[in-house]
Amino acid sequence: MTSVARAFGMRRIAYVLGLPVVLFGIWFLASAGSENFYAPPLRQILRSFADTWTLERLDADVLPSLLRLLAGYAIAGVLGVAVGVTIGLNRRVRATVEPVLEFFRAVPPPVLVPVIMLFAGIGDGMKIIVIAFGCVWPILLNTVEGVRAVDSVQLDTAKAYGIGGPARISRVVLPAASPQIAAGLRQALSIAIILMVISEMFASSNGLGFTIVQFQRSFAIPEMWSGIILLGLLGFALSLLFRLAEGRALRWYHGLREAQRKA
């Protein structure tokens, strides 16, 4: 790496972190002398952050939350892509189910928590179902769109060269639709985090959402705030991981776009 590139990288990092640092600074200064019980000084919140989120606590509350999130997200991913490809490839199925899908998509998933609770109880299963149910729609609809938009010349090429059946889907349709599928997965990830917290607020005995509500109810206000900060950091870390994975998987796509822009 040349020094120019390194300087450029540093500058990007500065851009990414600049605003958050400024905002935290403002919060820190503005809240420094706060007497308000519900809005304690940031210094106090940060101190309680270190005290609250010990390894045991991460293991007891954050880990179960994350595992449920991943399970629900994975189920939604597999289901959304599989059903999405089926619908996207079949015009008649698409015409039949699309209005219904739009309806389900429009239902705010948190509303379904009480309903799903009736059927699935209040255990891990319920939370995973809630997360999967909320995440599946953007993945599914984006997959349908992506599959529909596969270039006809690419499909003709596949056909002319005898690439049919499973190979057509795995080698042509899915890769061609993958940028759009990734867009759906990205949307779903933020929904997953929201639903992870909400499902734990309704009925739970552990988890990040449960803990935050617990702190609030017991008036442990700095701890509550520290939980919210942790949640924000978690969301940030997850979306960073997602972007890294996407950048790798769709390296060809970003390169292609770049090449087309230059042309």
Among 6, 11, 43, 159, indicate the residue that binds another protein (CB under 8 A).
159
Asked whether position 261 contacts another protein by CB under 8 A, the answer is: no
Asked whether position 2 contacts another protein by CB under 8 A, the answer is: no
Considering beta carbons, is residue 6 or 251 the nearer one to another protein? 251
Among 60, 151, 218, 247, indicate the residue that binds another protein (CB under 8 A).
151
Is 139 in contact with 81 (CB distance < 8 Å)? yes
* Main-chain dihedrals φ then ψ at residue 34, nearest 5 degrees: -65, 130
Q: Quote the least distance from Cβ 183 to another protein, whole Å.
A: 16
Among 50, 100, 111, 153, indicate the residue that binds another protein (CB under 8 A).
153
Q: Quote the least distance from Cβ 162 to another protein, whole Å.
A: 5
Considering beta carbons, is residue 19 or 263 the nearer one to another protein? 263
Q: Which stretch binds another protein (CB under 8 A): 49-57, 94-102, 136-144, 171-179?
A: 171-179
Q: Which stretch binds another protein (CB under 8 A): 15-23, 182-190, 198-206, 254-262?
A: 254-262
State the sign of the Cα–Cα–Cα–Cα dihedral 53, 201, 60, 190.
negative
Is 144 in contact with 94 (CB distance < 8 Å)? yes
Is 171 in contact with 163 (CB distance < 8 Å)? yes
| Residue in 56, 174, 189 with CA at minimum distance from that of residue 132 | 189
Q: Quote the least distance from Cβ 169 to another protein, whole Å.
A: 13
- Site size for another protein (CB under 8 A): 23
Long-range contacts of 81-85 (CB under 8 A, 24+ apart): 81/139, 81/140, 81/143, 81/174, 81/181, 83/140, 83/143, 84/139, 84/140, 84/141, 84/142, 84/143, 84/144, 84/146, 84/147, 84/181, 85/143, 85/147, 85/169, 85/173, 85/174, 85/177
| Residue in 142, 141, 176 with CA at minimum distance from that of residue 156 | 176
Among 143, 178, 180, 211, indicate the residue that binds another protein (CB under 8 A).
178
Q: List residues near another protein by CB under 8 A.
A: 151, 153-154, 156-157, 159-164, 167, 171-172, 175-176, 178, 252-253, 255-256, 259-260
